[in-house]
């Protein structure tokens, strides 16, 4: 099995794993425990329209802060206070890149790393591509290290050099945690009083569930 690592977009026609550690992948994985369906969308207007259409809970942020008038932001801790049939969510990076990927999409992070590696092997025929969400198209170390954690469960396969680098970078847990806590994204969340979200997003393998994005939505874990 070929395993590659890319930023912001995927060239795989097989299986892609979207990694947005801070925080969309983590938040969606938590939300999948409490919602029957999750609809990730790129724009605020689309989110508001779909939330009305489906009588859904509406979640989203821009630059880390909850969007005015929404039920909640993009906090994996706060989303666990909500449940229902449908959640509509829009975030700065993670939900934006899902719309552009042709492959079957899995949602990966530290909180479901082992499970997402296993599910990717179950679903892929020849190529698993990990897609770092990044921030506004730029490299974000938290997604590199989160991808590395997932790749640590795929290390016996045919890793490209980007994937090998991310795997090697993920091996020292203390260094990983410090690097993520000092990342630009984490610092921005800290300024918003959301440092506890960063600590939560660093927890390994809390969930065995892997959200799968297909035909515009994600089915919940129930």
Ligand X SMILES: O=C(O)[C@H](CS(=O)(=O)O)OP(=O)(O)O
Interface positions with ligand X (CB under 6 A): 20, 22-24, 61, 63-64, 74, 91-94, 133, 135, 185, 188-189
β-partners of residue 15 are 104, 128
How far CA 217 is from CA of 85, 143, 200, in Å, comes to 12, 22, 24
- Closest CB to Mg ion among residues 102, 138: 138
Whole-number minimum distance, CB 20 to Mg ion, in Å?
Answer: 4
* CB nearer Mg ion, residue 145 or residue 159: 145
CB of 125 to ligand X, least distance (A): 29
68 binds, among Mg ion, ligand X, none (CB under 5 to 8 A by kind): none
Q: Beginning with the edge strand found earlier in the chain, give each strand of the sheet holding 35-40 in spatial order.
A: 65-66, 57-62, 84-90, 35-40, 217-219, 212-214, 104-108, 15-19, 127-132, 2-7, 158-159
Quote the DSSP letter at residue 70: S
Write out the residues near Mg ion by the rule CB under 5 A. 20, 22, 93
The CB-of-44 to ligand X minimum distance in angstroms stands at 13
User: Residues 6 or more apart from 169 whose CB is under 8 A from it?
Assistant: 144, 145, 148, 176
Residue 215 beta carbon to ligand X: minimum distance, rounded to whole angstroms: 21
Nearer to ligand X, 124 or 148 (CB): 148
DSSP 117: H
Give whichever of 37 and 42 is closer to ligand X, judged by the CB atom: 42
């Amino acid at each position: 099995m070929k395993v590659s690592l890319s930023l912001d977009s995927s060239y795989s026609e097989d299986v892609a794993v979207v990694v947005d550690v801070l925080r969309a992948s983590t938040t969606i994985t938590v939300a999948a425990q409490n919602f029957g369906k999750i609809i990730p969308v790129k724009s605020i207007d689309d989110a508001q329209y779909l939330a009305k259409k489906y009588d859904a809970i509406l979640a989203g942020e821009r630059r880390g802060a909850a969007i005015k008038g929404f039920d909640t932001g993009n906090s994996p801790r706060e989303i666990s206070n909500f449940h229902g049939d449908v959640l509509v969510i829009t975030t700065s990076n993670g939900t934006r890149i899902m719309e552009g990927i042709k492959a079957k999409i899995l949602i990966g992070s530290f909180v479901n790393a082992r499970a997402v590696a296993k599910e990717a092997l179950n679903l892929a025929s020849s190529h698993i591509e990990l897609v770092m969400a990044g921030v506004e198209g730029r490299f974000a170390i938290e997604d590199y290290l989160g991808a590395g954690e997932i790749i640590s469960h795929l290390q016996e396969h045919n890793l490209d050099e980007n994937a090998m680098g991310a795997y090697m970078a993920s091996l020292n847990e203390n260094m990983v945690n410090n690097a993520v806590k000092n990342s630009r994204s984490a610092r921005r969340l800290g300024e918003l009083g959301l440092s506890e979200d960063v600590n939560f997003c660093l927890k390994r393998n809390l969930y065995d569930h892997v959200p799968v994005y297909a035909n515009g939505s994600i089915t919940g874990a129930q």
